[in-house]
Amino acid sequence: MWKLLKFFGFVLKAAFWLSLLFLVACLIALYILERDIPAPLVQRLATELSSEDLLVRIDRATFSLKSGLRLHRIKALPKRVADTALVSADEVAIDLSLRPKQALADRIRGVTIKNVSMPALPPKQADKKDQPEPLLPETAPFPVTIENADILGIKASRVSATVSLQPKRVNASDITIQWPANAFSMSAAGHVSLDFSTRLVTGHVKGQALPENLLPLFEVLRAHGAIRQINSFSKLARPVDADYTFDVNIDNTDFAMILALDVGPCAYNNVPMEYAKGT
């Protein structure tokens, strides 16, 4: 009888440890392995992100405790316009906190976006005065990192910022831009805000750049005066110190900007100059 009880005790003890090991293995698998989110849920998310003017497509989505939520091959296409995607990205990774009793506004710990492309400004839209403005969720500030960006012709190897959302406003502060590798070490910093009440994107960027870093943007904006001035400079001895303030209307793409340049030693219309400054 004692041997039988001892045997049952051994079996229960072994079952307990096996169950514990299985639970630990499951937790490790959940932490490491990415699982595909069902396609209907992905489609519902894309529908929620779409609007009257934009159609959002998400190829697939995955989730793991280690990597958080990952959206793969995302595109935002303008409706009623036969054109390429307005914005696209290979991957958007959202690091989420799963701590209990934490406010929803504080759960986003960071966002990483890879290979972002925005080739042109949005098409002009009809008057939106009688239509409700979009309402965003309110969040605490969280870090955003973009790896390899091509936005309106401006190419950057890395962009980092601190972003916060309010119901009618998006703020991006502490923006740092690293240009693609070249003979000079250059960067720029600034801030940008999108206000749905005023329908304006406003911002300020200050740093160093070469003409080829800025010309594609001015070509998209059709800033012909700025293009002529920049093309007048040649034989630059160093990167240009630039101070750029702008605002853009998101409905009709009208814009205003102030661009201050400190070019340093150069040639202007092939005339050598010790330095050149202007706004």
User: How does pLDDT run across 206-257, given as a tens digit for each residue?
Assistant: 888 888 887 887 787 777 877 887 788 878 878 888 888 888 887 777 777 7
Q: Where are the alpha helices (DSSP H) in 130-278?
A: 211-220, 224-231
Winning range, highest mean pLDDT, from 4-13, 203-212, 269-278: 203-212
Query: What would the mean pLDDT of 73-89 be, rounded to a whole number?
Result: 80
The reported pLDDT for the residue numbered 90 is: 92
Neighbours of 23 (CB within 10 A): 10
Taking CB atoms within 8 Å and a gap of at least 24, the contacts of 192-195 are 193/169, 194/169, 194/170, 194/250, 195/168, 195/169
Is residue 92 over pLDDT 80?
yes
Average pLDDT value for the chain: 77
In this prediction, residue 115 carries a pLDDT of: 93
C-alpha to C-alpha distance for 68 and 82, rounded to whole angstroms: 34
Question: Which has more confidence, 108 or 127?
Answer: 108
- What average pLDDT does range 143-161 have in this prediction? 88
Q: How high is the pLDDT of residue 10?
A: 44
Mean per-residue pLDDT, 97-116: 80
pLDDT score recorded for residue 133? 63
With contact defined as beta carbons under 8 Å apart, do 218 and 255 qualify?
A: no
What's the DSSP call for residue 138?
P
**Which of 10-24, 122-136, 163-177, 259-273 ranks highest by mean pLDDT?**
163-177
CB 215 within 8 A of CB 230: yes
Q: Give the model's confidence band at 184: pLDDT under 50 very low, under 70 low, under 90 confident, else very high.
A: low
pTM of the model: 0.75
Residue 116's SS3 state is strand
Paired tokens of 277:
């400054």
